[in-house]
Structure 1
Amino acid sequence: MIRVALDAMGGDLGPRIAFDGAIEVLSRHSDVSITIYYSPVSGVDTPAPNERLSLIPCSDVIDGDDDIVLSLFRRKDSTLYRSLEALSNGTSDVAVTLGNTGAMVALARYVLGLLRPKLYPALIRELRSNPLRCLVDLGANVHCAPSMLYGFAELGAAYVEAIADEEAKVGLLNVGVESTKGSSVIKKTDDLLSDCSWPKYLGYAEGTELFDGDKNVIVCDGMVGNAVLKASEGLLSFIMEKFKAEQGAASLLKSFYQIERRHGACLVGVRGNLVKGHGCSDVPATVGAIEYGIDIARADLCTAMQTRLCNEEIK
């Protein structure tokens, strides 16, 4: 049985989205149980609990605009903290939240701990699933030193090799592939990756290589990654809107997009399986984020990545 801890309070559209998403997931997967951490909201009815659906009321909710300050770590009855705590104490196999990204990263480091000292956690997004292509980081870290970007390459490579059982081929996102281009941070990161035996490094990558080409792990800092992701999603929405008048065109694009990538992103580098969905997720997107969490829990992603990283560290 895969046990999911679901933070119901982080989404922009309220807990009803999480409730409905959980019920839909349970109807699809007989080997899944979900524990929902929620705060009672006037006018929103909770679903009826059963042997595979549990509801745990919490007294606190971390909002999207809450700052990452010391008091955050004392808010132990918040829905986000409680869902991460369930992951930490082994009562769940994966945690899913649609909430505050900064708070999630900070609390995950605090509650779960790091896979390896000085290896900063990063958000990974699957841009395509067949063949698997990933972008890392998406916003967990904004100001990144070369050593951090090098760590993102390790995390991305370990993710690909754990999920897809294929060789990771890393590219470093840059303004061009020429050796003279890029900031000092990018050039130093290039030197670090060029000198390593693992992961396999194929050099600089341009934006045109995000969705196609030999490189299946594209590394960048969180500011760039988040901008790239949001721009790509915005372009898709724009095209779908323009194609609404064309018979079947918009639905074809939407179907392709749903098949080619997962909903949500995975926070890697912490001791647990953790999925972050879009704050604006509707029910289908929430279902997708939960099912993504189920997939990585079934693959025992965290353990597989830790084993891969430790093997490289021992060499």
Structure 2
Amino acid sequence: MQRSLTIALDMMGGDYGPRSSIPAAVEAVHLHNSLTLILCGNETLIEEQLSRLDALQHPRLKIKHCTQIVTNADEPAYALRNKKDASMRVALDLVKSGEAQACVSSGNTGALFAIAHYVLKMLPGIKRPALISTVPTQTKRPVYLLDLGANVHCDAHTLYQFGIMGTVVAREAQDIEYPKVSLLNIGSEDIKGHEGIKAAAKLMSSCNTINYTGYSEGSDIFSGKADVIVCEGFVGNVALKTCEGIAKLIMHKMTKALKKHLLYRGLALLLMPVIKKIYKKVNPDQYNGASLVGLRGIVVKSHGNASASAFLAAINEAVKEVQRQLPEKIQAAFAENEPTPDTSAENS
């Protein structure tokens, strides 16, 4: 019998708010019999959307009314100080109190980072949380990319810690005993890159927990060369958004070409099973849900423009992380490692 679990959802975040998060929530409780969702947000709007889906009385969908919303225009510090009854803050408070085991939000990334850091705190020994998510590769396994934007600039010691956290995530999610870890750089040669990334490479090489395999270039992301690729948040966010844009471009061009001529339309019918299979593998929606790892709780960040299917993917990711007890596994990995000198002062 599955252990029951509860997840708090920020229903008001993102571009679409309850219009995408409510259908995803309804689908999620149908998929997971042991799942209860606490829907944080404007009660009237949430009830309206639930009624449309005939799910207002669902016993595992519970509404937590909130009077405020963290908008995309809110500065993180302002949201932290002045939006204590916002749906994002309330969802995180539920994780802190133990009423929920995870939080999912598609709201303001900076605000989510700041509030989650303040409310949940860091695991012992970890300096900064990191956003981590998967990208499809040429192999059967995806690659885990971090950081994706939580930390614009990172010193060598922070990148080293990301390597440990990425190792734990890949090991638990993909059942890889020794995940291959790489640093994203402008070249694969040891002489390439700035001093900070060279220092991070030395730290990773000396860590028994990290199976460090050297540098990766941008073109290596999809190759399957590494199971985990570590980078600064600025670089990682640009890389991820570029990957998503390329996937959408390929599908757009393919669809446009197949509709152009009558012969191509007939060919499209024959190729439709193959096209659907390819689209399923590269569709960004299924990879939605970047985890904010390193905190004393589980937080999953959904894209701001997430559709219902994309938000569902983020909820599913939160379910998996609760089941894997990810924060506890990360804490155990850091406890096993001897303290490593903090090189931030010389490599920031």
Bin the TM-score by the shorter chain. Answer: over 0.9
CA contact (8 A) 2:148 2:233 kept: yes
Q: 1:23 aligns with which of 23, 26, 49?
A: 26
Secondary structure of 1:45's match? helix
Deviations 1:143-176 (A, max 9, x none): 1111111111111112122323321221010111
Amino-acid identity (%): 34
Structure 2 unmatched runs, 5+? 51-55, 259-267, 341-348
Deviations 1:107-126 (A, max 9, x none): 11111110124421000011
2:298 is aligned with 1:298: no
Letter in 2 for 1:4: I
Query: When you count helix as a share of all residues, which structure comes out higher?
Result: 2
TM superposition shift of 1:75: 2.4
TM superposition shift of 1:219: 0.5
Letter in 1 for 2:63: L
The TM-score, its normalising length taken from structure 1, stands at: 0.93
- The 5 Å alignment of 1:134-213 reads 134-166=144-176, 167-213=178-224
Find the counterpart in structure 2 of residue 226 from structure 1.
237
Aligned CA distance change for structure 1 residues 88 and 313 (closer, same or farther; 3 Å):
farther
Cα RMSD (Å): 2.2
Of 7-16 and 223-232, more deviation after overlay is shown by 7-16
Find the counterpart in structure 2 of residue 104 from structure 1.
112
Q: If you compute each CA radius of gyration, which structure gives the higher value, 1 or 2?
A: 2
Q: 2:131 aligns with which of 74, 99, 123?
A: 123
Query: Aligned partners of 2:315 and 2:328: how far apart in 1?
Result: 19
TM superposition shift of 1:211: 2.1
TM superposition shift of 1:264: 1.4
2:40 is aligned with 1:37: yes
TM superposition shift of 1:42: 6.5
TM superposition shift of 1:235: 0.6
Runs of 4+ with deviation above 6 angstroms: 41-44
Of 251-260 and 88-97, more deviation after overlay is shown by 251-260
Letter in 1 for 2:157: S
| Matched residues, number | 315
Letter in 2 for 1:76: K
Query: Aligned partners of 1:283 and 1:213: how far apart in 2?
Result: 29
Query: Aligned partners of 2:175 and 2:45: how far apart in 1?
Result: 47
Aligned CA distance change for structure 1 residues 230 and 260 (closer, same or farther; 3 Å):
closer
TM superposition shift of 1:61: 0.6
Aligned CA distance change for structure 1 residues 45 and 137 (closer, same or farther; 3 Å):
same
Query: Aligned partners of 1:289 and 1:304: how far apart in 2?
Result: 20
Structure 1 unmatched runs, 5+? none
Aligned CA distance change for structure 1 residues 227 and 147 (closer, same or farther; 3 Å):
same
Secondary structure of 2:337's match? helix
Q: 2:303 aligns with which of 278, 293, 299?
A: 278
Query: Aligned partners of 2:283 and 2:335: how far apart in 1?
Result: 34
Query: Aligned partners of 2:79 and 2:94: how far apart in 1?
Result: 20
Aligned CA distance change for structure 1 residues 200 and 140 (closer, same or farther; 3 Å):
same
CA contact (8 A) 2:129 2:295 kept: yes
Letter in 2 for 1:96: V
Query: Aligned partners of 1:97 and 1:259: how far apart in 2?
Result: 17
The TM-score, its normalising length taken from structure 2, stands at: 0.84
